[in-house]
Amino acid sequence: MAGLNPAFERLQGNYLFAEVRRRVDAQAQADPSADIISMGIGDVSQPLVPAVLDALRKAVDEMGDAATFRGYGPEQGYAFLREAVVRHDFAPRGVALSPDEIFISDGAKCDIGNIQELFAPGAVVALTDPVYPVYLDSNLMAGRGAGPDGIILLPCVAENNFAPALPGRRPDIIYLCCPNNPTGTALSRDELARWVDYARREEAVILFDAAYEAFISDPAVPHSIYEIPGALDVALEFRSFSKTAGFTGLRCAYAVIPHGVRGRASDGSLRPLHPMWARRQSTKYNGCPYIVQRAAEAVYTPEAQSALADVLAVYRRNAQAIRRTLAGCGLRVFGGEHSPYVWVKTPDGMLSWDFFDMLLRRAGVVCTPGQGFGPSGEGYARFTAFASEEHTARAMERLSSLF
C-alpha cells in the first residue's frame, strides 16, 4: 500500500467549520422543527450588487461569441483587474505597487494556505493565537511544527488587549491578520510598525491577511501593511472580494508579492519570492475565471461602491446589535468595531464547545467556539455579523432571554 503523509495524523479531527456544520446538522436531525440561525462561519448573506451582476452578465455573453470568447487566461490574472487593484486599493493610500506584483486568485484561503510552499520545510512559523485555522493546518500538512522547535504561538487575549507580543525566539514566517479573524480587533499603526521593524531586523517574512480591511472604521488604523514604511521589503499581503463584495460563492481574491521581499536560498543567497510564486501559480493554477475577474473589476465602479457601502452598513449594524445585546446580557464583548466578528468571553469560565452546544440546543443559534481557533481561544466564542438583519435580530432576542 502507498505510505500516507504522516503530517495529517497531527491535524485536529475535522476542519473547524466542518465540525461546526456536523454538530448543526445533528441538531437539525434531532429536532427538525428547530429554526437554526447561523452566526458561525463568516459567510455573507447580502446578494451581489447590480453593477457586479451587470458585468458578470456582459462577460457571460462575451464567452458565447467567437469574437470575444476567452480560453485559458493569464495565470496571474488579467491586467485589467490587476491594474484596477493597484489604482483603487493602494495608490490612494500612498502605496506604490506595480500591477505585476498582484496575483489574482479564486480565494484568499487558497493563497494563504498555499503560500507556505515557498518556504523551507524547516522554516519556523509564528502564529497569533487564536488564529484562522488555515495558517496552522497548511503548515502542519507540509510537515512543519513537528520537532521541538514547533510552531511559535503568540497569545492574544483580553489581558494583552489582543495585541501579540513579539516572539521570544526568531521565526522565519509570521502570520498577522488585521482586522483579526477571530477576535475582531485591529492593530494600530504603531503596533504594525513594531512588527515590520522586527521582521526587517530578524530577516523574517510577514504574511499579512487583510481580508477584512473594508470593515475598518477608524481612519488611524492602516488598511494595508504597506502603509508602514519598510513593509514592501518584508511583507506579503492577502486580500479578498469575499467579505467586501459578497464573493464567497463567486470566488475572487488576490495576493500582493512585492519584488522587494526576499528569502534565503539553500546556497545562502537572498532571492526574491515573486518569481517563485509566479512559478508555483503557473504550475498549479490556471487562473480565476474571466467572468469572475470582470465582476471583480466592476466592484471598483462608483455604482458598485455606493451599493456596497449600504451592504457594509448592514453588517456594521448587525455587529453593533450583537455587541449591545451580549454586553447587556452581562457578557464581556470585544471586536466588532473594525470587523464583522464579535468575540465574546463565555460566562462562568464555560468551555467554548460547551457554550456552543448550549446556544445551539437552547436558542438555535450557531456561534464558533473559540477553542477551535487555538488554545488561547478557549473560554471565548465568535459571532459573525454576516447574517441578515432579520436573522441577527431574532438571534439576539433569543440570546437576551437565555441569559
Among all residues, whose Cβ is closest to ligand MLT? 42
CB of 401 to ligand MLT, least distance (A): 26
Give me the helices (H) in 169-301, please.
Answer: 189-202, 242-245, 274-284, 290-298
Q: How far is the CB of 211 from ligand MLT (least distance, A)?
A: 7
Residue 304 burial (10 A CB sphere; 0-12, 13-18, 19+): buried
Nearer to ligand MLT among residue 133 and residue 258 (C-beta): 133
Quick check: 239 binds ligand MLT (CB under 6 A)? no
In the chain, the N- to C-terminal Cα span, in Å, equals 54
CA 119-124-126 angle, to 5 degrees, is 110
95: which 3 cell numbers?
A: 502605496
Name the residue nearer to ligand MLT (CB basis): 103 or 341: 341
CB of 259 to ligand MLT, least distance (A): 28
Q: Which helix (H) or strand (E) holds 240?
A: strand 235-240
Q: Give the number of C-alpha atoms closer than 13 A to the C-alpha of residue 330, restricted to the C-beta side.
A: 5
Is 350 a binding residue for ligand MLT by CB under 6 A? The answer is no
Residue 200 Cβ, how far from ligand MLT at the closest point, in Å?
A: 29
| Piece of the chain touching ligand MLT by CB under 6 A; list 37-45, 64-72, 287-295, 320-328 | 37-45
For residue 42, state whether it binds ligand MLT (rule: CB under 6 A): yes
**What's the sign of the alpha-carbon dihedral 283, 284, 286, 289?**
negative
Asked if 339 interacts with ligand MLT (CB under 6 A), we say: no
Choices 38-46, 122-130, 190-198, 329-337 (CB under 6 A): range interacting with ligand MLT: 38-46
Q: List the interface residues with ligand MLT, window 102-121 (CB under 6 A).
A: 109
Q: Which of 181, 244, 281, 371 binds ligand MLT (CB under 6 A)?
A: 181
Judge if the upstream peptide bond of residue 92 is cis by omega within 30 degrees of 0.
no
Number of residues that bind ligand MLT (CB under 6 A): 6
Residue 48: closest CA among 276, 258, 270, 292:
292
User: Is 41 an interacting residue with respect to ligand MLT (CB under 6 A)?
Assistant: yes
Stretch that binds ligand MLT, among 39-47, 70-78, 81-89, 255-263 (CB under 6 A): 39-47
Beta strands at 380-384 and 368-369: parallel, antiparallel or unpaired: antiparallel
Residues that bind ligand MLT (CB under 6 A): 41-43, 109, 132, 181
